[in-house]
Chain A
Amino acid sequence: MSTATADHHDHDDHHGPAPGLMRWVYTTNHKDIGTLYLLFALVMFFIGGGMALIIRAELFQPGLQIVDPLFFNSMTTMHALVMIFGVVMPAFVGLANWMIPMMIGGPDMALPRLNNWSFWIMPFAFAVLLSTLFMEGGGPAGGWTLYAPLSLQGGDNLAFVIFAIHFMGISSVMGSINIVATIFNMRAPGMTLMKMPLFVWTWLITAYLLIAVIPVLAGAVTMLLTDRYFDTSFFSAAGGGDPVMFQHIFWFFGHPEVYILILPAFGIISSIIPTFARKPLFGYASMVYATASIAFLSFIVWAHHMFTVGMPLAGEMFFMFATMMISVPTGVKVFNWIATMWRGSMTFETPMLFAIGFLVMFTIGGLSGLMLAITPADIQYHDTYFVVAHFHYVLVPGAIYSIMAATYYWIPKWTGNMYDEKWGKIHFWVSTVFLNVLFFPMHFVGLAGMPRRIPDYSMQFADWNAVATIGAFGFGFSQLIFVYVVYKCIKGGEKATTEVWEGADGLEWTVPSPAPYHTFETPPAIR
């Protein structure tokens, strides 16, 4: 198999990286592309984070001190678009690129040139998206959900935003096709589907979700585009359309998207906890089935984002029950992780700390999600800071922490050097303290009646908003520690062993550290 695969590779692939900067432009190596994705995500993390800090700075105290409300709205809109499409998704794709071929014993991704292309579209897409901020009239300000008719009211930034979304979508879809082809065709002999690490499994399911829903988003935004510029009226009541239909189509994409942002995280946590508990993952098969059922359920719960639009009673009931059902497979996962820890022999290096942080705070976010599923209560929670608190609890200590955990876990394999354990732990503790100072008070102001997406608020919310802003700046700046640790680790440090972690299990820990430019050109033997 390896010789057959090598036939169509560029000849320089056989000798290690090409010299100079052009290496990164022309590269078709899965490790190089993984690195590019991860660095891109890191840069976007600080751009999106900067936007969040502008939002929190304005909300530090009542009254408008810093920005115009329209600019505030475009900050909330862009913050979401950047964090979702520019940080979490590329970071997961980057991890997939680095780890999936090594985890399944394959030599590279299935379609290396496509891989290069899907990465290099991203910087262009985001350059277009971010450029709207400097256009006359400013960036998109109608929320990342782009609800019609508000999104149709703004300036010509809409056309640029839609163009950017199309390109991000093309990139994600190509990346997903590549991942599916890799998993199906590049596994080492003997690596059956039910022997694959869970990170590979969750990514396989995520890739299918992406392929299924990104085109739906593309359709929805294309309809917006033609409504705005070509006189169609999909979403305008005057021409026989319906603005609520946009919400249905959008959330048909949007809810699976939520799981796209969390399923790979489940895979990462399922790799890390067994390593540091020195005990195999509990309930491997049920983990796979739980992931698949979450993916299936994600297609039939979309309207729980829309309980206030006025649905028939039967519809509200159905979406309430279906949404509550999601907590069953999610619960199974959490219980399995705890059972993996139970009677293990645990140590708490930085990746494990982040994994436990994930487990605790994702559970908090999951429980507030269960509260949100109860339709009558959701009518009070909807579009308040309670929702903001909920999804930040599942996305920041969920998706972002899993990415941090993965970085600390695998970076010795990537660079060949151990990261600085002391600073890694400091990074975890400072982040976790500030993260809770930032997001926990949002539950309170939300329940007390503070709506989302407002630049100014009543006096009664002042105390907790001030606290949240302090947390935001603390959390934001503590991420510089992460940059420092990563930089230091790339530059040097204690040499990592092949196995790196005492309890590590999996093919990626059988290749030397740093992983050579080409791995598994001869398929490994699977036990």
Chain B
Amino acid sequence: MNTIRKAHLIVAGKLSLLVVGMFGFGYLMVPLYDIICDITGLNGKTSSVAVSAPTESNASDRLVTVEFVSVVNSSAAWTFKPVQRTMQVVPGQTYNASYEVVNLSGHPAVGQAVPSVAPSSAAKYFNKIECFCFTRQEFEAGGRKVMPLVFFIEEDLPRSIDTVTLSYTYFDTGEEPADLSDS
């Protein structure tokens, strides 16, 4: 092992470490992206964790319109609709809403709702105490469910936002439901 060969191997070794590191960084971008989404509300993503109800209800002096929107992904034969189209809410207070879903396909299926909020800058002020989007739903063929949502909007929602749109997209996960009688 002469010196020049050793020098080559040192350079190659260091660079190989960089290669491995950058491959890892590619994967690290997945959790990083989620963190950035949480901070900035990128894509209108809301937190997928339940929060507890606001402690003090020193009701704010203004009303915000919440619009409820539904989308059914092409992969799924469902009807999926908000029970109420809009709601006037006072930031800081807790409200109930619900969506109705029917499994139109002729077989049992598992569905998952994915929330998104517009404008995306409102996403981090939109809190869910209870939401059907936290879990998957199992349906028999033709099964129907009314699914609840309990939410509140934080009082420090910027004044420039007067309408918050909450959209759920319903996906068929393509899974077979576990034993339905259990659930």
Contact = CB atoms under 8 A, between A and B. Distances in A.
Contact of A212 (B8, B22, B29): B22
A26 interface: no
- Name, among A4, A219, A239, A248, the residue most crowded by chain B CB atoms within 10 Å (CB to CB): A219
Q: Which 5 A-B pairs have the closest CB atoms?
A: A219-B26, A238-B171, A215-B23, A215-B22, A181-B11
A336 B146 CA distance: 69
B42 A312 contact: yes
B74 to A, nearest CB: 10
A8 interface: yes
Give chain A's interface secondary structure class.
Answer: helix
Given A185-B7, A211-B18, A242-B43, A4 B2 contact: yes
A177 B26 contact: no
A313 B158 CA distance: 14
A311 interface: yes
A252 interface: yes
Contact of B25 (A216, A310, A312, A313): A216
Contacts of B173: 238-239
Interface of A: 1, 4-5, 7-8, 110-111, 114, 173, 176-177, 180-181, 184-185, 211-220, 223, 234, 237-240, 242, 244-245, 248-249, 252, 310-315
B48 A240 contact: yes
B37 to A, nearest CB: 8
A185 B4 contact: yes
Interface in B19-70: 19-27, 29-30, 33, 37, 40-45, 48
A312 B119 CA distance: 9
A312 B27 contact: no
Contacts of B24: 219
Interface residues of B, number: 40
A111 B37 CA distance: 44
A180 B112 CA distance: 49
23 contacts: A4-B2, A5-B4, A177-B15, A177-B16, A184-B11, A211-B15, A212-B18, A214-B22, A215-B19, A215-B25, A219-B23, A219-B27, A223-B26, A240-B48, A245-B29, A245-B33, A248-B29, A248-B33, A310-B43, A311-B42, A312-B121, A314-B40, A315-B40
B40 to A, nearest CB: 5
A110 B4 CA distance: 9
A4 B8 contact: no
Contacts of B12: 111, 114, 177, 181
B181 interface: no
Nearest to A186: B4
B73 interface: yes
A177 B40 CA distance: 38
Tell me which of A8, A114, A181, A223 has the highest count of chain B C-beta atoms within 10 A of its own C-beta: A181
A212 B18 CA distance: 7
A371 B67 CA distance: 37
A237 B169 contact: yes
Contacts of B172: 238
B3 interface: yes
A218 B26 contact: yes
A114 B30 CA distance: 33
Contact of B40 (A7, A180, A220, A312): A312
B16 to A, nearest CB: 7
Interface string B104-117: 00000000101000
Contacts of A185: 4, 7-8, 11
A245 B24 CA distance: 16
B115 to A, nearest CB: 10
